[in-house]
Amino acid sequence: MITFYVIFGAILLFIAIWVVFLYSFTGGLVETFLHGEAPFVPTKSAHLPEIAKRMSLDEKSILYDLGCGDARILVACYRCQPKARYIGYEKDIVPYLWAKFRLWRMGLLKEIKVYRKDFFEADLSDATHVFLYLSTKQMESLEKKFGNEIKKNTRVLSLCFKLPNAVPSKSISLKEKKELYIYEYSCQKA
Stretch that binds ligand SAM, among 5-13, 37-45, 78-86, 97-105 (CB under 6 A): 37-45
Whole-number Å distance between alpha carbons of 74 and 63: 8
Assess 120 for contact with ligand SAM (CB under 6 A).
yes
Q: What is the dihedral of CA 21, 26, 32, 38, to 10 degrees?
A: 0
Assess 90 for contact with ligand SAM (CB under 6 A).
yes
- Cβ proximity to ligand SAM, 72 vs 154, nearer residue: 72
CB of 126 to ligand SAM, least distance (A): 18
CA-based nearest residue to 162, from 186, 181, 142: 181
Assess 133 for contact with ligand SAM (CB under 6 A).
yes
- Cβ proximity to ligand SAM, 119 vs 185, nearer residue: 119
- Cβ proximity to ligand SAM, 133 vs 181, nearer residue: 133
* CB atoms near residue 186 (< 10 Å): 12
Interface residue with ligand SAM, options 52, 57, 68, 180 (CB under 6 A): 68
Q: DSSP state, 60?
A: T
Assess 180 for contact with ligand SAM (CB under 6 A).
no
Whole-number Å distance between alpha carbons of 55 and 142: 19
Whole-number Å distance between alpha carbons of 66 and 124: 10
Sign for the pseudo-dihedral over CA of 106, 111, 116, 121: negative
CB of 162 to ligand SAM, least distance (A): 15
Assess 42 for contact with ligand SAM (CB under 6 A).
yes
CB of 129 to ligand SAM, least distance (A): 13
Q: In what order do the strands lie in the sheet with 85-90?
A: 112-116, 85-90, 62-66, 129-132, 154-159, 179-185, 170-173
Assess 89 for contact with ligand SAM (CB under 6 A).
yes
Assess 118 for contact with ligand SAM (CB under 6 A).
yes
Task: Say if strands 62-66 and 154-159 run parallel, antiparallel, or are unpaired.
Answer: unpaired
Residues that bind ligand SAM (CB under 6 A): 37-38, 40-43, 65, 67-69, 72-73, 89-92, 95, 118-120, 133-134
